[in-house]
A and B are shown apart, each in its own frame.
Chain A
Amino acid sequence: GIQVEQSPPDLILQEGANSTLRCNFSDSVNNLQWFHQNPWGQLINLFYIPSGTKQNGRLSATTVATERYSLLYISSSQTTDSGVYFCAVERSGGGADGLTFGKGTHLIIQP
């Protein structure tokens, strides 16, 4: 199956800092989503971005499908940004295989 690798696994930053999270995947995809899992365990869908660039407030994401990677940018971090960030992909032509998740980046924003 498709492999998804996220880096870094852990990241500790001060409030106000910027960060870049990376997701590498091993095959062509027709779906790529970034999620934030908050301390209550809820999965919040941040971006649906199989290719291109999107922005939503302080967050933005870029997927370069031809090079099989995606980046999530968080600017001016706030303590509420803490949690685990997951990248998940659906392989092109994979039928109904569902999403394959990376292991996540655990982000801690300190006040």
Chain B
Amino acid sequence: NAGVTQTPKFQVLKTGQSMTLQCAQDMNHEYMSWYRQDPGMGLRLIHYSVGAGITDQGEVPNGYNVSRSTTEDFPLRLLSAAPSQTSVYFCASSYGPDSNQPQHFGDGTRLSIL
């Protein structure tokens, strides 16, 4: 069972470059989300989606864009990378809020912005 798959696992960018972090799930989950984890802290919500075509902002959305064209995929885009976006990024999925089911997490993408 693949679960939640994130690519790439590691990436180094220069300030101002753009890139897309990929996230895919094979559990037919409606709800998908992106978190970032900074040193010594828990995860903070960036963006989320409750279904294909629907996205919304979380706690720390600035500098990131998302789209949800299919149920399976939820890419996160950095349009112009900044050093403050150096972090570990986690994608998660679940059946949705109030579903009485846990959220499942990918293995993370470690991103460094020079």
Write the residues of chain A forming the contact surface with B, with a CB cutoff of 8 angstroms: 1, 4, 30-31, 33, 35, 41-43, 45, 48, 50, 86, 88, 90, 94-104
Apart from A88-B43, A99-B43, A103-B41, 10 more pairs, CB < 8 Å: A1-B59, A30-B98, A30-B100, A31-B100, A45-B102, A45-B105, A96-B96, A97-B58, A98-B48, A103-B42
Contact of A31 among B43, B88, B102 (CB under 8 A): B102
Interface size on B, residues (CB 8 A): 29
Closest to B30 in A: A96
Q: In the assembled complex, which residues on chain A have CB atoms less than 8 Å from the CB atom of B100?
A: 30-31, 50
CB distance from A20 to the nearest CB of B (A): 19
CB distance from A99 to the nearest CB of B (A): 6
A86 to B43, CA, bound (A): 9
Closest to B90 in A: A43
Q: In the assembled complex, which residues on chain B have CB atoms less than 8 Å from the CB atom of A103?
A: 40-42
Q: Return 11 A-B CB contacts under 8 Å, by A number.
A: A1-B59, A30-B97, A30-B100, A43-B105, A43-B108, A45-B104, A48-B101, A96-B96, A98-B92, A101-B43, A103-B40
A22 to B46, CA, bound (A): 26
CB distance from A29 to the nearest CB of B (A): 11
A42 to B37, CA, bound (A): 12
CB distance from B26 to the nearest CB of A (A): 17
CB distance from B33 to the nearest CB of A (A): 5
